[in-house]
Every structure is written in C-alpha cells, then in structure tokens.
Amino acid sequence: MIKINKTDLDGFLVIEPKCFHDSRGFFLETYQKEIYFSAGIKDTFVQDNQSRSKKGVLRGMHFQVKRPQAQIITVLRGCIYDVGVDLRVNSPTFGQSFGLQLSEEGPRQIYMEPGFAHGFCVLSDVVDLHYKVSRIYDPSDECGLHWNDPEINIKWPSIDFEVNKRDNNYQFLANLKDNNMLPHYPPLEI
C-alpha cells in the first residue's frame, strides 16, 4: 500500500508508495487517483515532465505566479535533497520551508499544492525526476525565490552546488512580496 505523511507545512506531503522488488527488478505504482484523492490530493493532473541532473546541481526555487501548479515529484533514480517553501501569503506557514532527502529507496515522492516554491540539490551521481503537475507549464508565468534567501534559511546539505545563472538571480522573499510577484492563491482562472 501507500503511506502519506503530513509535514509541518499544510499542503506539503511526503509520499511512500509501495515498491515490489524481486530478482528481476521492481514494480512501483506512482499515482492512482482514488488512493491519492482519499489522502486529500484532489487536483486534476494535466501534464507530466521528466528531468535528469548530475551530482551537485541545485535547481530552484521555482513557482508559477498567476497559475501555480500542484505537483507530485517522484524520484525515479538517484537521491536529492528536496525543499518546498510556502509562498501562500495568507497561510500560517508563509515563508517557511520543509526539506528532506528523497531517493529511489524511499521516501520517493512529495506532493505540494499550488502556492509553493520548489527546489532540490542532487546528492547522487545522477538523478531522474518525474513531475506530475496540475497546470500546463507557461514559461511566461515562471518565477523563483532565491535558493539561499537568509529569511528562509534553508538547511541545504554541505556540498559544492552548481546553480545556473537564472536560479542564482532570483529575488529574496521580501522583494517578491513587495513587487507582488508571489503565487496567486487560490490560482487565477485564466
């Protein structure tokens, strides 16, 4: 069966699907609407994405502004330190982060409802991730929170990071708030 754990951030869940191993390999059910729905994940998912990153890469902290996405992130291969930051202005946990290690050995998935920024750093030689999202990706709606914002104070693992220029130039939370660039929550129907 599947185990779904709440975190300190309402709307950010850690999911441990049952993985069946034998000498041939393994089988894993990564999504089943009725089971996830009964656990409170009621989003309709409309797009699947996959990424591969190498050790030391840090990606994030990404979000969509006008049409934020709910996401289920699954580690297909490798290991990451995964972080969500609550950017829902009226949330009691606004500005707080939750981070944990996810791997192909488990726990393997996280769910976040719309309004979170998401990022991760790669701890294994390579990682393959699968993203199930509730809205079609719109590059013109993409934004980000600086991965090392001192106000958020994410406890990233002590490794040398490789961060691309775009992610390194994202603004801090105070600037995003002052410039009305936080995710619309609830999302706008555009």
Residues belonging to the active site:
62, 131
> CA-to-CA distance for 45 and 48, rounded, in angstroms?
8
Amino acid identity at 115 = G
> CA-to-CA distance for 50 and 66, rounded, in angstroms?
23
Residue 69 is encoded by which pair of tokens? 């996405």
Asked if 17 contacts 29 with a C-beta cutoff of 8 angstroms, the reply is yes
Asked if 170 contacts 62 with a C-beta cutoff of 8 angstroms, the reply is no
